[in-house]
Amino acid sequence: MRSRVSSLPFFRGISPDTLFQIFLGSIAVLSVLVLAALLLRELIVGAMPALSAYGVEFLFSAEWNPVLSEFGALPFIYGTIVSSLLALLIGVPLSLGIAVFLTEIAPAKVRAVLSPVIELLAAIPSVIIGLWGIFVLAPFVREHIAPLLMEHLGFLPLFRGPAYGYSVLTAGIVLAIMITPIISSVSREALLAVPRLQKEGALALGATRFEAVTGVVLPYARGAIFGAVMLGLGRAIGETMAVTMVIGNSPQLFTSLLHPGYTMAAVIANEFTEATDDIYLAALIEIGLVLFAISMVVNIIARAITWRYLRVQGGS
């Protein structure tokens, strides 16, 4: 079937439908790029006083003392990275466990009830999760989890006391809970999309169901699962409200996860209104710039790797 083609010389041989698609596609891509560029420009202009005053030193200095106009972003970058990785460390196994349970183990009825309940978790406003963190989780960490960790793993600097309720660990747990719905539901979709023949292939070799799932089904879906993890990481890095309510908001290079910390998103939200002089404001905006850059890098890596896996699997 031949469709009509354009008579303009440059577009000869291209159907009007294709042209229209190219046109719409270009507009969409352009507008996104323009928006991103405008935002970036705004951030750079706003951060300029700090950029020129502190240079790269800004990224490596641990001093944050607005009264003395000392601004170093390291404690916030560090706090964001550690709390996000901690969230992944707790959240990923939990999410994969949930996804495997829902697709492989749970009876149909349990699955029908549980799946939406878990997804509903994602709809809870983060300030509510933060409140729960303050009233339930932080005391629980201080009184139960931290003493347990100190008793058994206290020889590691990571779990040295004294234990605060408002700590990096508490923030990590809160973040883990917040990223579990997205990681588990995307992973569940990925597991459901694995052809039945893959699992049967393993079972037909005498694999147990556990061996088939861990050795064949999960690896088959690894590209999509990796994408899910990156989505979760993106969310953890950017999460502001729930984190600031439980992390203790103390700009320090903690070694113990039981101590308080601070994150980039949290400091911007907390100190923006107090930032009355230009350099203070510029420093906060520069932290925003760093946050923006890190989120971009995480996303680009995620896309690149997901795309590579998809290609290896022949687009399935």
Partner 1 sequence: MESKIEVVELNAGFGSTHVLKNISMSIPRNRVTAIIGPSGCGKSTFVRCLNRIHELVPGAWVRGKVLLDGKNIYDSDVDPVDIRRRVGMVFQKPNPFPAMSIFDNIAYGPKIHGMKKGLERIVEDSLRKAALWDEVKHRLKDSPVSLSGGQQQRLCIARALAVEPEVILFDEPCSALDPVATAKIEDLILELRENYTIVIVTHNMQQAARIADYTAFFLMGELIEYGETAQIFENPRDKRTEDYITGRFG
Point out which span in 175-183, 201-209, 224-232, 294-302 binds partner 1 (CB under 8 A): 201-209
Quick check: 105 binds partner 1 (CB under 8 A)?
Answer: no
Q: Which of 197, 220, 199 is nearest to 210 (CA)?
A: 199
Quick check: 38 binds partner 1 (CB under 8 A)?
Answer: no
Quick check: 220 binds partner 1 (CB under 8 A)?
Answer: yes
* CB closer to partner 1 out of 20 and 210: 210
Burial 131-150 (b: 16+ CB within 10 A, else e): ebbbeebbeebbeebbeebb
Quick check: 108 binds partner 1 (CB under 8 A)?
Answer: yes
Asked whether 164 and 82 are in contact (CB, 8 A), the reply is no
Quick check: 204 binds partner 1 (CB under 8 A)?
Answer: yes
Quick check: 110 binds partner 1 (CB under 8 A)?
Answer: no
At 138, list the tokens: 């932080």
User: Which of 6, 198, 295, 299 forms a contact with partner 1 (CB under 8 A)?
Assistant: 198
What is d(CA 243, CA 241) in angstroms, rounded to the nearest whole number? 5
Torsion angle of C-alpha atoms 44, 50, 56, 61, degrees rounded to 10: -130
Quick check: 109 binds partner 1 (CB under 8 A)?
Answer: no
Residue linked to tokens 């309720």: 165
Quick check: 162 binds partner 1 (CB under 8 A)?
Answer: no
SS3 73: coil
Quick check: 255 binds partner 1 (CB under 8 A)?
Answer: no
Point out which span in 80-88, 127-135, 151-159, 214-222 binds partner 1 (CB under 8 A): 214-222
SS3 186: helix
Quick check: 314 binds partner 1 (CB under 8 A)?
Answer: yes
Asked whether 244 and 95 are in contact (CB, 8 A), the reply is no
Binding residues for partner 1, per CB under 8 A? 108, 195, 197-198, 200-208, 211, 215-216, 219-220, 222, 312-314
